[in-house]
Homo-oligomer: A and B are copies of this chain.
């Protein structure tokens, strides 16, 4: 999951709050996050922030929905290119080969937020939607690949479901073990996709 470039977007109050949330989350993680710390990253009047939200979870849930809606409308991996290049792009987006520090900080925070979903139904509802979004996106690409003859026939639902589970597991591993062998697991995922679909990822 690559770091988000909020500066590309309209500079209204909501975008500024989302940017401040993103920065504070990367810097402090979930457990140590407070509205005050989001306020420290906010470039407008802090009273705007305190007036809008009851607590950090309300801001964070809005932030997660904002990320998902941006993925739904502005996906960098679904621009009419071939099914093969779209499949490569979505996996590269979720599991970048050489993540920078900001991206690693963001993945760390997302793993921590995902763990909140084990106890908090509002977070669980969000991650249910996120997983469904990626599963459907994978399915669509895989079906397009079969339809155009680019991919060998396979059970697209099953492969899409495996890819979502592999991405979740791989993201967790990346930030919760020492020296994760990021290249090896990505190579294993690519090999799986190749076996199922015949699609090869360029080196």
List chain A positions with a Cβ less than 8 A from chain B: 29, 31, 108-109, 111-112, 114-115, 117-119, 123-125, 127-128, 131, 157-159, 161-162, 164-170, 172-173, 175-179, 181, 184-185, 187-189, 191-192, 195
CA distance A108 to B116 in the complex (A): 10
CA distance A189 to B184 in the complex (A): 19
CA distance A119 to B109 in the complex (A): 9
A124 to chain B, nearest CB (A): 6
A127 to chain B, nearest CB (A): 5
B128 near A118 (CB under 8 angstroms)?
Answer: no
- Interface majority SS on A: helix, strand, loop or mixed? helix
Closest CB pairs A-B (n = 10): A169-B169, A115-B115, A117-B176, A165-B169, A168-B169, A108-B118, A128-B177, A118-B175, A128-B178, A162-B188
B114 near A172 (CB under 8 angstroms)?
Answer: yes
CA distance A179 to B128 in the complex (A): 9
A157 to chain B, nearest CB (A): 8
A108 near B114 (CB under 8 angstroms)?
Answer: no
| A159 partner residues in chain B, CB cutoff 8 A | 188
Q: List 15 A-B contacts (CB under 8 A).
A: A112-B118, A112-B119, A114-B176, A123-B176, A124-B177, A158-B191, A161-B188, A162-B166, A162-B188, A164-B173, A165-B170, A165-B185, A168-B168, A168-B169, A195-B195
CB contact under 8 A between A173 and B178, given known A111-B115, A119-B112: no
Our pick among B109, B111, B166, B181 for the contact of A166 (Cβ within 8 Å) is B166
| A170 partner residues in chain B, CB cutoff 8 A | 165, 169
